[in-house]
Structure 1
Amino acid sequence: MLKKGVFAGLLLLAGSVMAETAQEQAVKKLVEPRLGDGVKVDSVVKTPYSGLFEVRVGGDIIYTDEKAQFLFVGNVVDAKSGTNYTRNRVEELNKIKFSDLPLDSALKMVKGDGKRVIAVFEDPNCGYCKRFRKTLASLDNVTVYTFMYNILSEDSVAKSKNIWCSSDRNKAWDEWMLSGKMPTATAPANCVTPHDKVYALGRKLNVNGTPAVFFTDGTRIPGAVDAKTLEEKFASIGQAPKR
């Protein structure tokens, strides 16, 4: 069982912006070459539990010992409270400033009062995104900004261009994602899309799969979550629906 001070120590760890200590730098030097060619370790921080060191690679976390002899892949969970320290830490590291998102490069859908706001990265050829789009259709009082994040194929780029360049982008996107109906008119050659900008943004934010949902508090949920999960998340950040 983890000690009570572990959680407080983790909070301190999550908020720390201090430079790596000599020991942490040594661990980083040892562990990086053991993770494979081309893998770059962003930071190493000594944790308050069991002498482990947190190794951050992009938006992911693994753990190692002080000699980097062992790698621990998985979640550190408080056996008494059920608190998932690793998940909380990953959420903290991956937080964004929602107001910095270039929303002019996204589709905008408003339902009801639109007060509950999310941004979603989706690929037009992503089956999970199509399933998630059906979930979004069941929600009310939401504003959804959709970034067409074309990472699956060149065909994704072509489909997104036809949708972006159509007379009603939101209608075209929903018709494709929900009904498999693509706009009949081909996008004109001179139509400029935000593909490059959105692609660069997704890479910067470590969006490695679609769908990826961002909330106004800066946190994210990867994957095609259900309506119940979305409602619980909205409630947790003070965006519960009106009764």
Structure 2
Amino acid sequence: MILIKYGAMQTLTKYILLSVISSLFVAGTQAASLMKNDESEQQAALNQEQMQQLLQERFPSAQVQHVTMSDIEGLYSFMLQGDLYYVSDNGKYLIKGQMLDISTPKVRNVTSERVAEIQKLESPMRKAEINALDEEDMVVYQAPNEKHVITIFTDVDCGYCQKMHRERQEYLDRGITLRYLAFPRAGLTSKSAEKLRGIWCAADQQTAMTEAKVQHKYRTGNCKTPFREHMALVRKFGLNGTPGIILENGDLIGGYLQAEILRERLDKLFGPKADTKEIATK
């Protein structure tokens, strides 16, 4: 047994009471602060127009598009440089990732569905922009029995671009004309851009393209190119990879597709005897 004097006991009791009161005060202050912050965040919810303005201020050099409330209350979705993002309605938290709906037996990828919906909305714009281009500024491989035309943003150093080009005859044999636009992913002053310039400046562009993509033989060139115009479309279309394939109706396929699969998709969209000359008119 430990004996404590009466005076010491009083002092100890006072100390304990003061500690408890102090802890309760701190806890109460923190709780009040949290409640205040919660109320502040709730009050700071932005409407769609305000969110558009805020995001554009946050990303001044990029194009913010398709700002709308997502399937989750309090969370907006928007497109930035070809990718879908989510942001809290107070503009504080930014999320990049897949939103999945697991409430049904088959899981829904809500993010993929939204991206596909947006791509459809932008198809008429892409079609108009592609139609406005001069085909002389493209490197074209004409199908002998043309049924469809695709326009491809390409980079010589892209593995799937090289693969697609190695299989070019399979596309041509299936009536698919290939029209290349330049997309040097490393920028207009990069080595990739120099390789592409050697192709566009060549007298025999088709041969130069094949040499670069298949044989890794690169020519040099010093001529005026349409690369700035092509890259402006890359930014406008929100492309972030190659090959970027634009169909006759402006639909975007973001990546490589085998010739057989692509022909089936084109036939399903436009019919096997589609008139594809419209896309080449200005």
By the TM > 0.5 criterion, same fold?
A: yes
Partners of 2:55 and 2:237 in 1: CA distance: 24
Please tell me whether the aligned partners of residues 76 and 85 of structure 1 are also in contact (alpha carbons under 8 angstroms).
no
Alignment partner of 1:86 out of 104, 114, 131: 114
- What letter is aligned with 1:127? G
Cα–Cα, structure 1 residues 64 and 182, in superposed 2: closer, same or farther, change >3 Å? closer
Match of 1:208 in 2: 240
Match of 2:5 in 1: none
- The answer to whether structure 1 residue 61 and structure 2 residue 84 are counterparts is yes
Partners of 1:72 and 1:204 in 2: CA distance: 21
Query: What is the alpha-carbon root mean square deviation over aligned residues?
Result: 3.3
Superposition deviation, residue 207 in structure 1: 2.3
Superposition deviation, residue 217 in structure 1: 1.1
Match of 2:178 in 1: 144
- The answer to whether structure 1 residue 160 and structure 2 residue 204 are counterparts is no
- The answer to whether structure 1 residue 105 and structure 2 residue 149 are counterparts is no
Pick which of 117-126 and 230-239 moved more: 230-239
Please tell me whether the aligned partners of residues 62 and 74 of structure 1 are also in contact (alpha carbons under 8 angstroms).
no
Please tell me whether the aligned partners of residues 126 and 152 of structure 1 are also in contact (alpha carbons under 8 angstroms).
no
Superposition deviation, residue 42 in structure 1: 3.3
Superposition deviation, residue 109 in structure 1: 0.7
Partners of 2:225 and 2:200 in 1: CA distance: 7
Partners of 2:213 and 2:157 in 1: CA distance: 9
Can you give the 5+ residue segments of structure 2 that lack an aligned partner in the other structure? 1-45, 275-282
Q: In structure 2, the residue corresponding to 1:167 is in which secondary structure?
A: coil
- What letter is aligned with 2:217? K
Partners of 2:234 and 2:212 in 1: CA distance: 22
Q: In structure 1, the residue corresponding to 2:146 is in which secondary structure?
A: coil
Superposition deviation, residue 110 in structure 1: 0.9
- What letter is aligned with 2:49? Q
Superposition deviation, residue 38 in structure 1: 6.0
Can you give the 5+ residue segments of structure 1 that lack an aligned partner in the other structure? 1-21
Pick which of 22-31 and 224-233 moved more: 22-31
When Rg is computed on C-alpha atoms for both structures, the one with the higher figure is 2
Cα–Cα, structure 1 residues 169 and 50, in superposed 2: closer, same or farther, change >3 Å? same
Match of 2:165 in 1: 133
**When the two structures are aligned, how many residues end up with a matched partner?**
215
Partners of 1:66 and 1:204 in 2: CA distance: 26
Q: In structure 1, the residue corresponding to 2:151 is in which secondary structure?
A: strand
Match of 1:73 in 2: 97
Q: In structure 1, the residue corresponding to 2:167 is in which secondary structure?
A: helix
Q: In structure 2, the residue corresponding to 1:42 is in which secondary structure?
A: strand
- What is the TM-score with the length of structure 1 in the denominator? 0.71
- The answer to whether structure 1 residue 224 and structure 2 residue 224 are counterparts is no
Match of 2:206 in 1: 170
Cα–Cα, structure 1 residues 75 and 204, in superposed 2: closer, same or farther, change >3 Å? same
Q: In structure 1, the residue corresponding to 2:240 is in which secondary structure?
A: coil
Please tell me whether the aligned partners of residues 61 and 90 of structure 1 are also in contact (alpha carbons under 8 angstroms).
no
Alignment partner of 2:215 out of 154, 173, 179: 179
